Amino acid sequence: MDIIRKCVNDNDFSKSEDCGSDVGATLGAICNGNRTCQIFGSDFLRLFSTQRSLMDKKHCSGVYLKHLQAEYACRKLSSIKDICKLKNYRLNHDVLLSSEQFRLNKRKGPSCRLSLKVKEGRRIRMELIDSPKRKLSGQYSRNNCKSSYGALKIEQKDLRSKMICGGQEEVQIFETDTSSTEISVTERILTNSSMNFLLNISVIGCPNLYSSAQNPGTTYVRKSNHLTIRCKDGRRWRLECSGNEWTGGRLNCTEPAETGSSSLIRLGSISIPPGILIAIILGLALIISVCILTIGLLMLQRQRRKAAYAAIYSMSEMAPVEYRRSKTPSGVYQRTLPKSAMNGGLSNGQLLQPENEYASVQEISDMRGAPYGCVECARAKNGGGSLRPLST
């Protein structure tokens, strides 16, 4: 606001402490839909001085008007030429139009018609920001809004038309049920410069996807803002509509997947979530490592056994020892092994008992004296299994 050049004393505050004004309508009437906006001037202060207070209908004094502060933001209008000649205009982004643009682009005829279209599956939302410079007198009725102010007529294919009446200083939102619509602006709005409004047309929703030659074998099943994609090979994933685009994975069965965006990973013909797939991989790795460790231990034990058998075999391959051969009175041949040789063959440094001068192996022969093939070691009767000497 203007720089305050006068200090307000306590008496001024006490006289009008309950003073207040609704400034939204006044600011809208001055600025909305116009190329220029002058809000800091004598006209602006005069408009506020005529406003009634919200609480007790007291006027705000000029002293308080100098303390008024206002914040505003400007939005750039869409630069669409020949608005009234648009036919099947495809919307790809939001469009902001003003009543002044309609008046500058009016054509000869009773109204200005806009034919708008978006991709199948998307819808059109219209927001009417109405800022009349004067309020309508009397009670508002939709039946006489044409004659008293004018209207925007929304027409939809196979649906009833909807009339949006102005003059109420309110924001009205209308959303189409289809992907195309027509807007008719009456001649009264086009010729009456006191009627100001902004028309914000936005595109909402995501487009439908269909199978084609570029994506063969792809089937789309849409439910509200969710889309399921199925492939012939069994793959399947789900997308979600975020804003105006599908997110969550690829759009067809032939398109490369987005990194980290696919919610399902194909394994054979079954779709498995990534978490379960990681758990399966870790389990298989653990099983393989246990098997490798077990096989290694078994091979180590086997190697140790082979080393022990080799040591025993090397002992048996030592140089032969000279035996003594003699015949017993009963006709049995025997061979005796010297004590020194037996001591050298015992493990852990064990020695034969002193009384065991010889260890013997008896050969049982038949009547002809030929070996019969049965060999036995004579054991002592009372030596606890120790070898005993045999008489020669």
Do 90 and 57 fall within a single domain?
no
Do 50 and 108 fall within a single domain?
no
Residues of the domain holding 56: 10-65
DSSP 161: -
Do 34 and 113 fall within a single domain?
no
Report yes or no on 214 lying in a domain.
Answer: no
Do 44 and 134 fall within a single domain?
no
Domain end, chosen from 170, 204, 238, is at 204
Do 147 and 47 fall within a single domain?
no
Sequence letter at residue 145: C
Domain end, chosen from 147, 179, 204, is at 204
Measured between its terminal Cα atoms, the distance across the chain in Å is: 142
Which residues are registered as beta bridge partners of 238?
A: 228
> Which position has the higher pLDDT, 184 or 247?
247
Per-residue pLDDT tens digits for 279-322: 899 999 999 999 999 999 999 998 888 887 777 766 665 555 55
pLDDT score recorded for residue 157: 59
Do 49 and 101 fall within a single domain?
no
**Residue 18 near residue 60, CB atoms below 8 Å:** no
Sequence letter at residue 29: A
Do 93 and 195 fall within a single domain?
yes
> Which position has the higher pLDDT, 133 or 363?
133
Report yes or no on 295 lying in a domain.
Answer: yes
Do 113 and 200 fall within a single domain?
yes
pLDDT at 171 over 90: no
> Which position has the higher pLDDT, 359 or 227?
227
Do 29 and 90 fall within a single domain?
no
Report yes or no on 217 lying in a domain.
Answer: no
Report yes or no on 60 lying in a domain.
Answer: yes
Half-sphere exposure in the Cβ direction for 30 (13 Å, CA): 17
Half-sphere exposure in the Cβ direction for 329 (13 Å, CA): 2
Do 61 and 87 fall within a single domain?
no
Do 293 and 337 fall within a single domain?
no
Per-residue pLDDT tens digits for 141-154: 444 554 444 566 77
- Residue 222: what are its φ and ψ, rounded to 5°? -105, 135
Per-residue pLDDT tens digits for 55-92: 344 555 555 555 555 566 677 888 777 777 778 888 88
